[in-house]
């Protein structure tokens, strides 16, 4: 029978898992920033129904949402030598190209879902508000910034929290190209000491704690926004 040895988590194994956890959090934070920027951009553009941009935005969102994140990670990693100029490629290699490829792939992948969340939230706001803003002389960017975005945050906050949790879990796919996240370190511990069960248990607890913390924050945020909406009413 298997004999558990949790002491592996307090020595070198614990140090490796801690380093991997920090890499995982960094991956998630940078990917989320990129996903939010691109998601809001394409979501607003799809909602605005600008003629020339509408098919481009549709193509982007549908391609990104209907291809697996692991395939996108592998694509950006292995095709970079063909797509990127040599100077940029060398600079990214000095920084850690595997890391950058995962950030880029996960940011783009989740931006497709965030774009649809943003577009759905904008559709929930009466379009007459945007038309009224135009009537008093607001530009498109001013209408979005001052009229739509303050309302949009209350509508899409729960969905953005769920997407953030999904992104955290998808960072484990970085293992495929050798990024030393917490899942990679758990596999390394398994190979070196045959204590994969303990390492993977600790990894599971880490993901569980982080994802539950984000979900709890989202729940508190939703309650606060709902209370603010009732007070305003």
- 227 pLDDT band, cuts 50/70/90, is low
Q: Look at residue 97 in the predicted model and tell me its pLDDT.
A: 86
pLDDT for residue 67: 94
- Hey, what are 23's tokens? 């890499």
Instruction: Provide mean pLDDT across the span 49-69.
Output: 88
- The answer to whether residue 228 is domain-embedded is yes
In a domain, 117, yes or no: yes
Under the banding of pLDDT at 50, 70 and 90, the label for residue 211 is very high
C-alpha angle with apex 174: 172 to 177, nearest 5 degrees?
145
Asked if the structure places residue 5 within a domain, the reply is no
Residue 178 lies in a domain: yes
End-to-end CA distance of the chain: 63
Residue 98 lies in a domain: yes
Confidence class for position 232, pLDDT limits 50, 70, 90: low
CA atoms within 13 A on the CB side of 1: 2
Q: In this structure, what DSSP letter does residue 131 have?
A: H
Count of domains for the chain = 1
CA distance 71 to 42: 22
Query: CA 77, CA 15: separation in Å to the nearest integer?
Result: 28
Q: Is the pLDDT of residue 85 over 60?
A: yes
Judged against a pLDDT cut of 90, whether residue 187 lies above it is answered with yes
For residue 110, which of 20, 34, 15 has the smallest C-alpha distance?
A: 34
Is 8 part of a structural domain of the chain?
no
Q: What is the CATH number for 125?
A: 1.10.3720.10
In SS3 terms, 50-88 reads as CCCCHHHHHHHHHHHHCCCHHHHHHHHHHCHHHHCCHHH
Residue 55 has phi, psi (to 5 degrees) of -65, -30
pLDDT at 132: 83
Query: In this predicted structure, what is the pLDDT of residue 96?
Result: 81
Class of residue 203 by CB neighbours under 10 A (exposed 0-12, middle 13-18, buried 19+):
buried
pLDDT confidence of residue 230: 55
How far apart, in Å, are the Cα atoms of 223 and each of 91, 100, 154, 156, 231?
Answer: 45, 36, 10, 13, 12
Q: What is the pLDDT of residue 184?
A: 95
Q: What is the pTM of this model?
A: 0.89
d(CA 184, CA 173): 9
212 within a domain of the structure (yes/no): yes
Nearest 5°: CA angle at 59, between 58 and 64? 105
Inter-residue contact 64 to 111 (CB < 8 Å):
yes
Q: What tens digit of pLDDT does each residue of 143-174 get?
A: 888 888 878 888 898 899 999 999 999 999 99
pLDDT in tens, 61-78: 999 999 999 999 999 998
Are 9 and 197 in contact by the 8 Å Cβ rule? The answer is: no
- Residue 175 placed within a domain: yes
Range of the domain at 142: 23-232
Question: What pLDDT is attached to residue 229?
Answer: 57
Give the best-scoring range by mean pLDDT among 3-7, 15-19, 224-228, 229-233: 15-19
């Amino acid at each position: 029978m298997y004999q558990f040895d949790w002491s592996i988590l307090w020595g070198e194994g614990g140090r490796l898992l801690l380093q991997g956890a920090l890499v995982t959090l960094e991956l998630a934070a940078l990917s989320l920033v990129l996903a939010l920027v691109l998601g809001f951009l394409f979501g607003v553009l799809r909602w605005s129904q600008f003629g020339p941009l509408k098919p481009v935005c549709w193509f982007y969102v549908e391609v990104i949402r209907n291809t697996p994140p692991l395939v996108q990670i592998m694509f950006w990693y292995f095709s970079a030598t063909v797509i990127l100029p040599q100077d940029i490629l060398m600079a990214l290699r000095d920084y850690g190209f595997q890391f950058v490829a995962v950030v880029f792939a996960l940011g783009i992948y989740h931006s497709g879902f965030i774009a649809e969340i943003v577009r759905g939230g904008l559709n929930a706001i009466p379009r007459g508000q945007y038309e009224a803003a135009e009537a008093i002389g607001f530009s498109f960017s001013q209408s979005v910034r001052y009229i739509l975005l303050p309302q949009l945050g209350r509508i899409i906050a729960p969905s953005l929290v769920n997407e953030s949790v999904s992104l955290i879990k998808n960072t484990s796919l970085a293992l495929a190209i050798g990024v030393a996240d917490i899942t990679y370190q758990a596999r390394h511990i398994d190979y070196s000491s045959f204590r994969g069960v303990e390492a993977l248990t600790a990894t599971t607890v880490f993901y569980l704690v982080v994802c539950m913390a984000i979900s709890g924050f989202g729940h508190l945020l939703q309650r606060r926004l709902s209370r603010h909406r009732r007070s305003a009413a």
